[in-house]
C-alpha cells in the first residue's frame, strides 16, 4: 500500500515581530528600500542662510600624571599648583584635566634669569 503524494505547502509570508515592518518585495527588480537616489541638483532651502561661527581650535587636555612627567615634578606638586590657582585646570568627575596651554603659560612665567 503506497501513501498518497502531498504537494509542497505554499510559502507563507513571515510575520513581523514587534517593532518591525513586514517584509514586502520591491515592485521593480533592483529597487529596494535603499534604492538609487534621483540624480540632479538638490533644492535650496527657502529660508535665510545661517552662517556658522568659525570653528574653535581644539584644546588638548593633560592628566595630572602627564603634567607631572612633563614638568619632572611629583603629582602632589601639580595638585598644589592647581589648588593654589597658579595653574588652570578643569575638574572632570573626581580627577583634574589641565589644558596644554596652561602648562605652557606656567612654564613660560616660571622662568627666571640668573645673574
Question: Contact 74/67 with Cβ under 8 angstroms?
Answer: no
DSSP string of 78-104?
Answer: HHHHHHTTSS--EEETTEEEEEHHHHH
Residue for cell digits 513586514?
22
Q: Cell digits for 84?
A: 593654589
Residues whose CB falls within 8 Å of the CB of residue 98, separated by 6 or more in sequence, listed in order: 61, 62, 63, 64, 67, 78, 82, 87, 88, 89, 90
- Return per-residue pLDDT of the chain as tens, 115 residues: 667 677 776 666 666 566 666 666 666 655 555 556 666 676 666 777 778 888 888 889 999 999 999 999 999 999 999 999 999 999 999 999 999 999 999 999 888 877 6
Q: Give burial (CB, 10 Å; 0-12/13-18/19+) of 66.
A: middle
SS3 state at 109: helix
Amino acid at each position: 500500500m503506497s501513501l498518497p503524494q502531498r504537494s509542497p505547502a505554499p510559502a507563507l509570508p513571515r510575520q513581523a515581530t514587534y517593532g518591525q515592518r513586514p517584509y514586502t518585495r520591491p515592485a521593480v527588480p533592483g529597487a529596494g528600500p535603499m534604492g538609487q537616489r534621483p540624480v540632479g541638483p538638490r533644492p535650496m532651502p527657502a529660508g535665510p542662510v545661517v552662517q556658522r561661527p568659525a570653528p574653535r581650535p581644539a584644546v588638548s587636555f593633560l592628566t595630572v600624571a602627564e603634567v607631572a612627567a612633563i614638568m619632572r615634578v611629583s603629582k602632589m606638586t601639580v595638585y598644589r599648583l592647581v589648588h593654589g590657582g597658579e595653574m588652570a585646570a578643569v575638574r572632570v568627575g573626581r580627577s583634574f584635566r589641565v589644558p596644554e596651554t596652561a602648562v605652557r603659560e606656567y612654564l613660560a612665567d616660571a622662568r627666571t634669569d640668573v645673574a
